[in-house]
Chains A and B, each alone.
Chain A
Amino acid sequence: MDVVMPKMGESVMEGTIIKWYKKVGDRVKKDEPLFEISTDKVDTEIPSPGEGYLAEVMVGEQETVEVGTVVARLEPDKPASARSAGTKPAETESAGIETSSLPASMHDNFAFPSPAFEKKEEIGFLSPLVLNIAKTEKVSFEELRTIKGTGLQNRITQKDLLLHIDRKKQQNIKPQHVSTSSPSYYCPKGSGVSSNDVEVIPMDNVRQKIMQHMIHSRDTSVHVTALIEVNMLKIHTFIQNHKNDFLEKEGIKLTYMPFIADAAIKALKEYPLVNSTIDGTTIYKKKYINLGIAVAMEPNGLIVPNIKKAGEKNLIGLAKAINDLAANARTKKLTPDDIAQGTFTITNYGVFGSIFGTPIINQPEVAILGVGAVIKKPVAVEIDGNDLITVRPIMALTLAHDHRIIDGMLGGKFLKFVKDVLESFEPDSL
């Protein structure tokens, strides 16, 4: 039985194998975790499609292949000899000479070898054109090594290299080959810092993706942040009075988030331009609201799943949806579709105590709402014509918006609208 790279969602074309849980020759039960993959959206464990012995592993750890590619083979009986992809050099060396089965015909000599036949350490054939481009664009051999080749026998083609150069220009990042071998960059000579004082950590896939997304957003949108303070008295009181029966009835903890989400959705309906996307000089104003909620991952990391068609949900529906997304995110049960197609994002840095922040827009959206901690503060209020100082639960909301499309006026109106909805909350409206 062939095991293939599963399709994890409509928009996902390839996946990277992070870890094999089984070794070649191991017995595997159906639905037992077989390997872990990382797509450009999420990391997931993949269960075995059937029962048997892992006879062959064609795609090794840290290799990226297209959806549908055969990554391993299961056999009902324990295989006598088994192959695995690029793990033991001794095995790969001999594989090139002593192929266990002879080609069925001469034509098979031209078939594409499985990665098991390749020596990972070597860079392989580089075409004269690739070398010329590398020379002209000052791409080092070290850097070439990091490029995934799509040509015959995984050669790096002109297209692969030009794409790499393009991406590098876009992301404006340093080549990733700054590695363990060159700690001098971080430990300058004579600084008194030795290399033992610096721990060198290669970034995992998730961290690399977050880095790329953040840089991409910074380089795409013109970030402007507006701030408003919201008196949360009514909602605060409501939560205090109802949190216990809500937990009993609905099984979830009532927090400020569903109220804020509800207010944001109402504001998005009032100001739909905030719920849009820019492509070139065209604006795409979306009629649906897929509300993204930023979820922090332990020990570090961040993911933004979204509530599909959030505009059609009431407060209780939103509370449940937020709760589900957060739970799924923390237990790695999100699918790439949960991440795709968001139209607006809320990030709650308040849970960590921050009172305000300037969030980065989740591309290709054009605004993000930052939620600060609700803090009791002395505020001036006017009661019966008298100015008084009293204590109120105050929350600062920030809206980071893309100035390419949203000017200060719209950003301000949007925030004011959210504030008004929150402050005029009526328990009867539930």
Chain B
Amino acid sequence: MAEKYHVAVLGGGPGGYVAAVRAAQLGLKTVIIEKDNLGGICLNWGCIPTKSLLKNAEIYDLMKYHSSEFGIKVQGLEFDFSKIIKRSRDISDQIVKNIEFLIKKNKIDRIKGFGKLASASKIDIINPEGKSIDSVTAENIIIATGARPKNIPSIPVDHKMIITSTEAMNLPEQPKELIVVGAGAIGVEFAYFYSVLGTKVTLIEMLDSILPVEDKEVSLTLEKSFKKRGIDILTNAAVQKAEIKSNKVNVCALVNGSLKELTADKVLCAVGVTGNVEGFGLEKLGIELYKNHIKVDKSNYSTNVKGVFAIGDVIGPPWLAHVASAEGIHCVEKIKGLTPPDINYNNVPGCTYCQPQVASIGFTEQKAKEAGYELKIGKFPFMASGKAFAIGEREGFVKLIFDAKYGELLGAHIIGSEATEMIAELAMAKSLEATAESIIKTIHAHPTLSESVMEAVGVAYNEAIHI
């Protein structure tokens, strides 16, 4: 390919393909290089297929445990595990096709192959034998190679018995017992999914609560709910060793200072992710790394090599698809010469899609206190919401944290059935720098769960009506 592109994107995940589409919209001649399907982990092995699985679990949960509450009689309730898995794979395939179409529609060249950086303006396309079969030259290269599940020596993943999230969403049959190591979003979602389907789940977390980055009150509420479901939770627990012994996995963990032995059919290692920084020429260009991730200037996502940019999971936390997309758009707009404001990493919503769902943005109460703010906190339980009663989802609450001095919304934390949809309002409020007053004076439709947001502000300022 002789022609020179304005932008070459290496990697077709939610960072890469979004960057490519935005570049094309801005009139930049763009090529995207991806060895697999477009959509990256998110569409193929992450966000989308897991949300499909979780919907199955929610329906089954409702039918099995709550049908009588709604006056519905269910007899012979059963599920077909392989069909549950197949549904999620089909959905993933369909969405991926849509992305391929998006790329075509925007007249972006798509190269299916493994791209390797040859220079700051050239990417070689390598065949499986390691031979260069093609090359692309571009004024700007955006690296969006993403991340993969992290391995730790004490838990040797064999992808059959000791598995990562990739296998966990595509198992041939349902495990009877499952140990989940790591209670971040991924671990918690799989713990919920398998436990609803009847697997005996043990959730192990090294820190002192599950979802340790969330507000303590939220974590404890979820912990209580999970325990009620029958999920065993071990916090302050460090896995020393995981060993496969005749069709079982033995796990030895140090829990609050004493050793504990556990056994299960499968162990899911969900201890985080690590950047894909190997094997595509970063060292050759001398691109600077930091803790297995590419180091960038977050005002335009440039690396230390001129003309080479990096976005998304490969540049490190928070490892979220929506952040990767936002970074991709920002990076391309800067390349075009526009002046978008820098991304505010304190205004990034984070969601966990178990039931009850967990969603948050900004400071937790603990972090806000550490940062030295004087706080005004409003917590409104769904127990006090009419809509929550009507739909039988009374678990959870909305907790809003304000700075007492200027009324800034420092953080928002929701746990409840539609938490992940409700957080959008608060993300908008934060990005527009709304104050407590602006939220409480916004009329919220009745009856909705979202009213609880308005009421939570009311609680903080002693103006709540329904509590």
B374 within 8 A of A: no
Known: A133-B406, A136-B406, A150-B342. A112 touches B434 (CB 8 A): no
A108: chain B residues at CB < 8 Å are 25-26
**Residue in chain A with minimal CB distance to B334:** A68
Q: How far is the CB of B248 from chain A (nearest CB, A)?
A: 53
A130: chain B residues at CB < 8 Å are 433
A179 within 8 A of B: no
A12: chain B residues at CB < 8 Å are none
Could you tell me if A112 and B340 are in contact, using CB atoms closer than 8 angstroms?
yes
Could you tell me if A136 and B405 are in contact, using CB atoms closer than 8 angstroms?
yes
Chain B count of residues within 8 A CB distance of the other chain: 23
Known: A2-B337, A150-B341. A128 touches B433 (CB 8 A): yes
A123 within 8 A of B: no
A128: contacting residue among B22, B337, B340, B438, CB under 8 A? B438
Could you tell me if B408 and A129 are in contact, using CB atoms closer than 8 angstroms?
yes
B435: chain A residues at CB < 8 Å are 128-129, 132
A198 within 8 A of B: no
C-alpha gap A105/B432 in the complex (Å): 25
Stretch from A151-159, A222-230, A295-303, A394-402 that touches the partner? A151-159
C-alpha gap A127/B439 in the complex (Å): 13
A104 within 8 A of B: yes
Which B390-408 residues sit within 8 Å CB-CB of chain A?
405-408
B371 within 8 A of A: no
Which B147-184 residues sit within 8 Å CB-CB of chain A?
none
Known: A127-B433, A127-B434. A70 touches B337 (CB 8 A): yes
A107 within 8 A of B: yes
Could you tell me if A132 and B406 are in contact, using CB atoms closer than 8 angstroms?
yes
Known: A108-B25, A133-B406. A128 touches B434 (CB 8 A): yes
**Residue in chain B with minimal CB distance to A126:** B433
B406: contacting residue among A69, A112, A129, CB under 8 A? A129
A129: contacting residue among B25, B26, B27, B407, CB under 8 A? B407
Q: How far is the CB of A55 from chain B (nearest CB, A)?
A: 14
B75 within 8 A of A: no
B94: chain A residues at CB < 8 Å are none
Could you tell me if B433 and A129 are in contact, using CB atoms closer than 8 angstroms?
yes
C-alpha gap A309/B27 in the complex (Å): 48
B434: chain A residues at CB < 8 Å are 127-129
A104: contacting residue among B27, B340, B407, B432, CB under 8 A? B27
B437 within 8 A of A: yes
Which B176-233 residues sit within 8 Å CB-CB of chain A?
none
A128: chain B residues at CB < 8 Å are 407, 433-435, 437-438
- A104, A129, A132, A136: residue with the most chain B Cβ atoms closer than 10 Å: A129
C-alpha gap A4/B435 in the complex (Å): 38
B25: contacting residue among A107, A112, A132, CB under 8 A? A107
B-contact 0/1 string along A328-366, CB 8 Å cutoff: 000000000000000000000000000000000000000
Secondary structure at the B interface, as helix, strand, loop or mixed, is: loop
Which B405-443 residues sit within 8 Å CB-CB of chain A?
405-408, 432-435, 437-438
Known: A128-B433, A136-B405. A69 touches B339 (CB 8 A): yes
C-alpha gap A130/B438 in the complex (Å): 12
C-alpha gap A158/B431 in the complex (Å): 10
Q: How far is the CB of B137 from chain A (nearest CB, A)?
A: 20
A102 within 8 A of B: no
B100 within 8 A of A: no
Q: How far is the CB of B427 from chain A (nearest CB, A)?
A: 14
Could you tell me if A158 and B25 are in contact, using CB atoms closer than 8 angstroms?
no
B406: chain A residues at CB < 8 Å are 129, 132-133, 136, 158
A65 within 8 A of B: yes
B339: contacting residue among A65, A127, A133, A157, CB under 8 A? A65
A151: chain B residues at CB < 8 Å are 341
C-alpha gap A112/B342 in the complex (Å): 13
B338 within 8 A of A: yes
C-alpha gap A157/B432 in the complex (Å): 9
Known: A112-B339, A112-B340, A127-B432. A158 touches B408 (CB 8 A): yes
A65: chain B residues at CB < 8 Å are 339
Which A135-162 residues sit within 8 Å CB-CB of chain B?
136, 150-152, 157-158
Which B325-361 residues sit within 8 Å CB-CB of chain A?
333, 337-342
A201 within 8 A of B: no
A383 within 8 A of B: no
C-alpha gap A329/B462 in the complex (Å): 63
A132: chain B residues at CB < 8 Å are 406-408, 435
A203 within 8 A of B: no
C-alpha gap A104/B433 in the complex (Å): 30
Known: A128-B437, A158-B408. A112 touches B432 (CB 8 A): no
A112: chain B residues at CB < 8 Å are 333, 338-340
Known: A129-B408, A133-B406, A157-B433. A105 touches B25 (CB 8 A): yes
Could you tell me if B405 and A152 are in contact, using CB atoms closer than 8 angstroms?
no
**Residue in chain A with minimal CB distance to B405:** A136
**Residue in chain B with minimal CB distance to A137:** B406
A66: chain B residues at CB < 8 Å are 299, 339
Known: A105-B25, A107-B25, A133-B406. A158 touches B337 (CB 8 A): no
Q: How far is the CB of A105 from chain B (nearest CB, A)?
A: 5
Could you tell me if A69 and B337 are in contact, using CB atoms closer than 8 angstroms?
yes
C-alpha gap A409/B22 in the complex (Å): 65
C-alpha gap A116/B435 in the complex (Å): 31
B339: chain A residues at CB < 8 Å are 65-66, 69, 112
**Residue in chain A with minimal CB distance to B437:** A128
Mark B residues whose CB is within 8 Å of A: 22, 25-27, 299-300, 333, 337-342, 405-408, 432-435, 437-438
A sample of 28 inter-chain contacts (CB < 8 A) reads A4-B337, A65-B339, A66-B299, A69-B337, A104-B25, A104-B26, A104-B27, A105-B25, A107-B25, A108-B25, A112-B340, A128-B407, A128-B433, A128-B434, A128-B435, A128-B437, A129-B408, A129-B433, A129-B435, A132-B406, A133-B406, A136-B405, A150-B341, A150-B342, A151-B341, A157-B341, A158-B406, A158-B408
8 nearest A-B residue pairs (beta carbon): A127-B433, A129-B433, A70-B337, A128-B435, A128-B438, A132-B406, A133-B406, A151-B341
Apart from the given pairs A4-B337, A69-B339, A127-B434, 19 other A-B contacts in the complex at a CB distance below 8 Å: A68-B300, A104-B25, A104-B26, A104-B27, A108-B26, A111-B333, A112-B333, A112-B338, A127-B433, A128-B434, A128-B438, A129-B407, A129-B408, A129-B433, A133-B406, A136-B406, A158-B406, A158-B408, A158-B433
